[in-house]
Amino acid sequence: MSSSHLLALLPPPALAEQVVAFRAAHGIRDAAATPHVTVKARSGLGEALAWVPQARAVAAQVSSVALSIAGPRLFRNGTALYLQVNSPEAVGLHLALLAALNPAERFGYEGPGMMPHLSVALGRRGVDLRALLAAAQATFADLEAQPLTFTATELVWLRKAGPGAVYLPVEAWPLGGR
């Protein structure tokens, strides 16, 4: 059983708790356990962990990342219900990680057009995302009215132990050498 890895920025604890509570209230079990904004998906983040020193080095060179999280939306392809994230700095961090790690293969959503987001629910196993969207719009109405702006100061390495497991934090690396 192989694990998978990703690199992310974490939202403030109060928003993370709100996302976890929403998932629990709606029986959502297949989304990541740790609410996060992915800045490097699993491509190039292999089991041998040869990528860890390069990722740490990027974290040390990149300044803290400003993010603004707004209300819920659905991806057009129906794969996820997410909270919108506006952050040119997160895209910049993503591009710096891609350049440093230079994965042999990339996912289609990686690169300059990467859209930062915070997944709330994935469209799997009979989950009706359209029905969940209305509930999410009510739960996260405050974000629609006034996006939450914050600064991430750590790049977090998340690991999923294998199929059916969830992504959980392994290490956090300070951004900008802080």
Domain of 119, CATH number, reads 3.90.1140.10
Q: According to the model, what pLDDT value does residue 125 have?
A: 66
pLDDT of residue 31: 54
Per-residue pLDDT at 30: 63
How far CA 158 is from CA of 6, 80, 124, 126, in Å, comes to 5, 19, 21, 26
- Report pLDDT for 44: 81
Q: Are strands 148-152 and 167-174 parallel, antiparallel or unpaired?
A: unpaired
What tens-digit pLDDT sequence spans the chain (178 residues)?
Answer: 577 899 999 999 999 999 999 999 998 876 567 999 999 988 888 888 999 999 999 999 999 999 999 999 998 777 889 999 999 999 999 999 999 998 777 666 788 888 999 999 887 766 788 889 999 999 999 999 999 999 999 999 999 888 778 888 999 999 985 4
CA angle 76, 82, 87 (to 5 degrees): 100
- Please state the domain count of the chain: 1
Contact 18, 139 (CB under 8 A): yes
What's the CA angle centered on 106, arms 103 and 110, to 5 degrees? 115
Domain that holds residue 16: 4-177
